[in-house]
């Protein structure tokens, strides 16, 4: 299978941010990845198709997404967009801009958490977009680069307060790992599921693994992950299936059983419900967007 384009961004060692504003009617850039963070804003782009990891969605009139680098594939493509003057503002910054020591300060706790979540792609709510719109609107035209830096920093802080921001890609597809910042019990459960997701994983067995009753474990798990146990298990299976669809030529039926689904029709139905595409169409979509490097 071909590998997606590895973009080398225009950031130099002396840059804090690379900021570009464009008006466009086409989205020709293919599926790609890079090591830098990217905050991408799109206005008047209804119908554009956003691909981040194994998330494929059609956007509305306004779109603001933070992609956390580290090889997470992403692209914004034409989709059903017919607009002739779509506005796009892209802000890229190096992972080295915010060191671990810097982000460990109390004042940057929310930004640190936001950057961690961005490893899956983080889509911001309309409320958050409107809150930072005035800064975005003038950012590219600011002459004072220090004030521009402060404006981006303030904007990142405001976005980090968005309680409705949602991650896009599954962790198993993006190969993201948040275990260092999690409780011992949650780490133990995630490790177990990562190793045994293809097997018959039962709630009772996982609850016993961390010495909890099934009902208490269900509440505990949802409180700490935001998802029910069964929903989380299905997402892990689907993420691994999506990764196999993209990275291998293995048959869909074989992928189905290799990822813990017990029949093909259920796999196809669940995949389409969660990814908006059948496994076959999902594979074709990624293949179409790949380029040889």
Domains of the chain: 5-167 (2.60.120.10), 175-289 (1.10.10.60)
**Average of per-residue pLDDT across 81-90:** 92
Task: Give pLDDT tens digits for 223-233.
Answer: 888 889 999 99
**Which of 169, 170, 192 has its CA nearest to residue 236?**
170
Sign of the CA dihedral running 125, 126, 130, 136: positive
Q: Using CB atoms within 10 Å of the CB of residue 10, give its burial: 0 to 12 exposed, 13 to 18 middle, 19+ buried.
A: exposed
Query: Using an 8 Å Cβ cutoff, are 45 and 61 in contact?
Result: yes
CB atoms within 10 A of CB 256: 23
**Which of 45, 6, 10 has its CA nearest to residue 27?**
45
**Which of 88, 102, 89 has its CA nearest to residue 155?**
89
Query: Using an 8 Å Cβ cutoff, are 54 and 272 in contact?
Result: no
**Residue 184, CA distances (Å) to 31, 216, 261 in order:** 36, 16, 28
Query: Using an 8 Å Cβ cutoff, are 168 and 120 in contact?
Result: yes
Query: Using an 8 Å Cβ cutoff, are 85 and 23 in contact?
Result: yes
When the pLDDT of each residue in the chain is averaged and rounded to a whole number, the result is 89
- Long-range pairs for 176-183: beta carbons < 8 A, 24 or more residues apart: 176/70, 176/119, 176/120, 178/116, 181/116, 182/224, 183/224
Report the C-alpha gap between 138 and 142 in whole angstroms: 6
Query: Model confidence at 292, in pLDDT bands (50, 70, 90)?
Result: very low
Task: Give pLDDT tens digits for 262-273.
Answer: 999 999 999 999
Task: Give pLDDT tens digits for 169-206.
Answer: 988 888 766 655 567 888 899 999 999 999 999 999 99
Task: Give pLDDT tens digits for 106-148.
Answer: 888 999 999 999 999 999 999 999 999 999 999 999 999 899 9
Question: Do strands 5-6 and 32-33 pair parallel, antiparallel, or not at all (unpaired)?
Answer: parallel
**Which of 68, 109, 64 has its CA nearest to residue 88?**
64
pLDDT of 289 reads 63
pLDDT of 182 reads 64
Residue 8: pLDDT over 80: no
Task: Give pLDDT tens digits for 47-63.
Answer: 999 999 999 999 999 99
């Amino acid at each position: 299978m071909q590998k997606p384009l590895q973009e080398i961004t225009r950031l130099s060692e002396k840059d804090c941010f690379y900021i570009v504003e464009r008006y466009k009617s086409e989205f020709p850039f293919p599926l790609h990845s890079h090591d830098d963070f990217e905050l991408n804003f799109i206005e008047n782009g209804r119908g554009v198709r956003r691909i981040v990891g194994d998330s494929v969605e059609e956007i509305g009139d306004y779109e603001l997404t933070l992609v956390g680098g580290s090889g997470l594939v992403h692209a914004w493509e034409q989709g059903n967009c017919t607009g002739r003057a779509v506005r796009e503002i892209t802000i890229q910054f190096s992972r080295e801009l915010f060191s671990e020591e810097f982000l460990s300060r109390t004042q940057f706790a929310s930004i640190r958490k936001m950057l961690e979540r961005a490893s899956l792609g983080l889509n911001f709510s309309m409320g958050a977009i409107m809150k930072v719109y005035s800064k975005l609107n003038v950012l590219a035209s600011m002459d004072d680069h220090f004030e521009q830096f402060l404006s981006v920093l303030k904007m990142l802080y405001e976005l980090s307060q968005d309680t409705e921001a949602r991650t896009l890609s599954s962790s198993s597809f993006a190969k993201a790992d948040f275990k260092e910042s999690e409780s011992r019990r949650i780490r133990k459960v995630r490790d177990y599921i990562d190793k045994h997701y293809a097997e018959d994983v039962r709630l009772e067995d996982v609850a016993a693994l961390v010495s909890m009753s099934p009902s208490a474990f269900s509440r505990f798990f949802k409180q700490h992950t935001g998802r029910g146990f069964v929903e989380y298990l299905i997402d892990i299976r689907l993420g691994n299936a999506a990764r196999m669809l993209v990275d291998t030529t293995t048959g869909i039926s074989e992928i189905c059983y290799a990822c813990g689904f017990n029949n093909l029709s259920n796999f196809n139905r669940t995949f389409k419900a969660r990814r908006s595409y059948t496994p076959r169409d999902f594979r074709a979509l990624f293949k179409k967007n790949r380029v040889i490097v």
